[in-house]
């Protein structure tokens, strides 16, 4: 049975992006309501040292895919590894940033998981035992509440909306296989 809240942390040039800390703190808030665990997926090369920072924001377990195949960011490679980690761990909720990278990645991961995706959310909560995502509609004139029946419930959160609140927890690190078949990568980063 699906349990816990998982985030996909973003890093660039060996530093966590602010949205990752916002996601971690928001996931901790959601998990505390149900007594669940918070986990994170962190992909890149030479990034294992960043896992402890996520623990400071409430992440209990960090799945680290430290591989040359994960740097630079390439959609196909990241989506494949993220989807595998999610399938192997079965979280109830999966949160990503609505950043440039997160918008690119979230739709591909949702497709690989055959689940719904609430995009560009400005609030998330647990109401009556269900995950509820709130997003602006009609150019911000109103807000819609999205309750998904798919699992995991998946949402991308708008950057700079959620506070990055420190929570003095020390997370554990779990190494994951981030090897990807080079033939499956059709994109190429030129610069």
Residue 96 has a pLDDT of: 98
How big is the chain by its Cα radius of gyration, in Å? 16
Residue 120: pLDDT band with limits 50, 70, 90: very high
pLDDT of 113 > 90? The answer is yes
Q: Which CATH superfamily is domain 5-179 in?
A: HUPs (3.40.50.620)
Contact partners, residue 100, CB within 8 Å, separation at least 6: none
Average model confidence (pLDDT) for the chain?
91
Burial of 131 (0-12, 13-18, 19+ CB in 10 A): buried
Average of pLDDT values for 91-105?
97
What proportion of the chain, given as a percentage, has pLDDT over 70? Answer: 95
What would the mean pLDDT of 19-45 be, rounded to a whole number? 94
What is the model's pLDDT at position 2? 81
Question: Model confidence at 190, in pLDDT bands (50, 70, 90)?
Answer: confident
Maximum distance among all Cα pairs of the chain, rounded to whole angstroms: 48
Q: Tell me the mean pLDDT in the region 28-53.
A: 92
Residue 106's φ and ψ, nearest 5 degrees, are -60, -40
For helices 75-89 and 100-113, give the axis angle rounded to 10 degrees: 50
Q: What is the pLDDT of residues 137-189, one digit of tens each?
A: 999 899 999 998 899 999 999 999 999 888 766 667 777 877 777 777 777 77
Strand bridging mode 130-137 / 142-147:
antiparallel
132 CB-near residues (< 8 Å, 6+ apart): 124, 125, 126, 145, 146, 147
Strands (E), 48-129: 61-66, 93-97, 118-121, 123-127
182 CB-contact burial (10 Å; exposed 0-12 / middle 13-18 / buried 19+): exposed
Q: Is 118 helix (H, G, I), strand (E, B) or coil?
A: strand
């Amino acid at each position: 049975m699906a349990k816990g809240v998982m985030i996909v942390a973003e890093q660039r040039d060996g530093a966590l992006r602010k949205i990752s800390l916002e996601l971690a703190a928001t996931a901790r808030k959601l998990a505390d309501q149900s007594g669940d665990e918070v986990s994170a997926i962190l992909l890149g090369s030479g990034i294992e040292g960043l896992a402890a920072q996520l623990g400071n924001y409430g992440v209990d377990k960090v799945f680290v895919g430290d591989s040359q195949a994960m740097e630079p960011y390439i959609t196909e490679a990241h989506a494949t590894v993220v989807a595998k980690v999610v399938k192997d761990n079965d979280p109830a909720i999966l949160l990503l940033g609505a950043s440039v990278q997160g918008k690119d990645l979230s739709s591909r991961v949702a497709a690989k998981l055959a689940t719904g995706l609430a995009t560009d959310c400005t609030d998330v909560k647990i109401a009556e035992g269900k995950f509820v995502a709130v997003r602006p509609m009609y150019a911000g004139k109103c807000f819609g509440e999205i309750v998904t029946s798919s699992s995991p419930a998946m949402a991308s959160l708008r950057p700079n909306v959620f506070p990055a609140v420190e929570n003095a927890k020390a997370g554990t690190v779990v190494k994951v296989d981030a090897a990807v078949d080079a033939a499956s990568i059709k994109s190429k980063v030129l610069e």
